[in-house]
Amino acid sequence: MVGKGYVLKVNGTVFPNYLLAPEGYSNTPDRRQDKGSYTNVRGVTIRGILPVKRTTVKIKTVDDLTHGQLRIVQAFFPNRDKVVCEVWNSERNTYQTMTAYVPDVEYTVKRIDKDGNFYYNAVEFELIDYGSE
């Protein structure tokens, strides 16, 4: 076995796999950032790579979420400005702990049943690492 059976853990709680859509986890690990990079007169790119690297994670839930399932997902991010989480990093082939933020999330009500229960389209959210060396 490669991992521990999960791709996201927040405050010690594992994000439920049953709420993760097929192909619902992707990551762009250890993104390099440039500052002052340029191409010289000979056409050679000179990069000024900063020491801080950032990982970005995208999560997509299953479709047709009940309101209760949506509440479970939302409970993972009570403060979207600062989320300390453990994610699977596919470049390192191990788990990474990062402090991230979650940009705005869009929720779409797919339907309302005859009893007034809401069902939602799949929810997509992103975790963007503040950066680490």
Yes or no: say if 100 and 128 are a contact pair by the CB < 8 Å rule. yes
- Residue 120 three-state SS: strand
**Number of structural domains, the chain?**
1
Q: Which domain holds residue 34?
A: 8-129
**What does the pLDDT read at residue 1?**
56
Pairing of β 65-66 and β 83-89 = unpaired
pLDDT band at residue 5, thresholds of 50, 70 and 90? very high
Assigned domain for 27 exists: yes
Q: Which residues contact 109 (CB under 8 A, 6 or more apart)?
A: 118, 119, 120, 121
pTM: 0.85
Assigned domain for 121 exists: yes
Assigned domain for 65 exists: yes
pLDDT band at residue 52, thresholds of 50, 70 and 90? confident
Assigned domain for 39 exists: yes
Assigned domain for 1 exists: no
Assigned domain for 3 exists: no
Assigned domain for 59 exists: yes
**What does the pLDDT read at residue 110?**
97
Q: Could you read off the pLDDT of 80-127 as tens digits, one per residue? A: 999 999 999 999 999 999 999 999 999 999 999 999 999 999 999 999
Assigned domain for 2 exists: no
